[in-house]
Amino acid sequence: MSDFVGIARDSVERPTATPDITPTALALSRASEPSWEVIMSTRMIDRRRFPRFVLEPMYTPISARTMDSESFDLEGHAYDISEGGLRFELDKPVAPGTRIALQITLPTADAEDLGPGRSVFVFATVVWIEDEEEPAPYKMAAVFSHFARAGDRDRLLRHFATGRYRAAA
């Protein structure tokens, strides 16, 4: 983990995606005056850039730290993940807008893959927190700004490609 604290920000991988044009978006682009139904249906479209995958919280531990901290002192579990972000819980709340570093330990069925290679390190920004007034754990979500180590993005995508994860609703 100590290697992660001093990683240079200019030597990181950034998530990339090609834009997809949905049938509704195509219809909107062709219509001179879209109907109310078409406009409302676009609000129901998942606007995420990347597909999300459900994780088993008990088997997907995460560690987090704010950017002003030297150690990963926040512990929790992930609920779902995509190439661009994560929904998770921590025992302490982190305010939206806070920049954090995350270590996500991905579940594995392979006994040979139990080392540090199964963790993905990312820099992220918390975008929402659910019911901060309720007792812990605190559910929140973060959007990834960039992957911390060379190969972390590819490692995450390889996990998605295994077919072990189901798509989140």
Q: Which fold has domain 49-161?
A: Thrombin, subunit H (2.40.10)
Question: What pLDDT is attached to residue 11?
Answer: 42
Show me where the domains of the chain are located: 18-47, 49-161
pLDDT tens for 101-128 read 999 998 875 645 545 567 899 999 999 9
* Full-model pTM: 0.68
Q: Could you write out the DSSP letters of every residue in 127-166? A: EEES-TTSPSPEEEEEEEEEESSTTHHHHHHHHHHTS-SP
Spell out a b/e string for 132-153, using b for 16 or more CB atoms within 10 Å of the CB, else e: eeeeebbbbbbbbbbbbbeebb
pLDDT tens for 37-80 read 544 444 455 566 888 888 876 789 999 999 999 999 999 999 99
